[in-house]
């Protein structure tokens, strides 16, 4: 994430920070309580009720280093969703987990298992979506994310809940625009 390959020589981390800020501002229009933000590499940290005022602080307190333990963060995010669902605290129109990543995960199989398991717990296709946004151009990550987007039904997913997009797909759009489109979709 520290690679400076974004517009104007900016790092991926800076691009993600600015996009998260834009997303938090947009979400505050509908839900003033804020969003849940996970920052992850080899480990993850979950921050609940993040408003736009807190975004910069989160990014200053964390560094983009380490591996990509995507399975653990997705497991926590889906568990958190189903806990809130059981308590009647989820959004009736559905919710989206947005994942911004620049590399392939440490354990591909574990990521697939988490998503398939989550889909099997769902009652409606619209209740939960996971949108992967790849920043950077790692071809192995692209291939894996496309498989998540297109092939999980073939390995037992109840619903097709994944969508994947790369920066090559969205060259004319900023990451902020992509994030806002994902939540509006």
Averaged pLDDT for residues 21-37: 83
Q: Rounded to whole angstroms, how far apart are CA atoms 98 and 137?
A: 18
Other beta carbons within 10 Å of 182: 18
**Which pLDDT score is estimated for 176?**
61
**Which pLDDT score is estimated for 172?**
61
Look at residues 185, 165, 154, 179 and name the one whose alpha carbon lies nearest to residue 16. 179
Q: How confident is the model at residue 110 (pLDDT cuts 50, 70, 90)?
A: very high
**Which pLDDT score is estimated for 28?**
85
pLDDT at 173 over 80: no
Tell me 170's DSSP state.
T
Starting at the edge strand that comes first in sequence, how are the strands of the sheet with 95-101 ordered? 95-101, 128-134, 162-166
pTM, full prediction: 0.84
Distances (CA, A) of 52 to 24, 37, 57, 132: 5, 11, 10, 22
Q: Which of 134-138, 154-158, 161-165, 179-183 has the lowest mean pLDDT?
A: 179-183
**Which pLDDT score is estimated for 180?**
59
Q: Please give the structure tokens belonging to residue 148.
A: 């998540």
**Which pLDDT score is estimated for 175?**
58
């Amino acid at each position: 994430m520290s690679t400076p390959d974004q517009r104007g020589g900016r790092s991926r981390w800076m691009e993600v920070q600015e996009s998260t800020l834009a997303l938090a501002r947009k979400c505050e229009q509908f839900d003033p309580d804020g969003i849940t933000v996970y920052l992850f590499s080899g480990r993850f940290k979950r921050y609940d009720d993040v408003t736009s005022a807190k975004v910069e602080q989160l990014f200053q307190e964390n560094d983009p280093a380490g591996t990509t333990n995507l399975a653990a963060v997705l497991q926590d995010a889906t568990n958190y969703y189903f806990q809130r669902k059981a308590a009647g605290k989820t959004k009736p129109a559905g919710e989206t987990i947005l994942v911004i990543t620049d590399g392939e995960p440490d354990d591909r199989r574990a990521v697939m298992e988490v998503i398939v398991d989550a889909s099997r717990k769902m009652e409606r296709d619209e209740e939960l979506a996971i949108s992967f946004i790849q920043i950077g151009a790692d071809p192995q990550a692209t291939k894996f994310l496309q498989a998540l987007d297109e092939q999980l039904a073939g390995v037992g997913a109840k619903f097709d809940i994944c969508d994947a997009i790369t920066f090559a797909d969205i060259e004319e759009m900023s990451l902020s625009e992509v994030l806002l489109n994902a939540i509006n979709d």
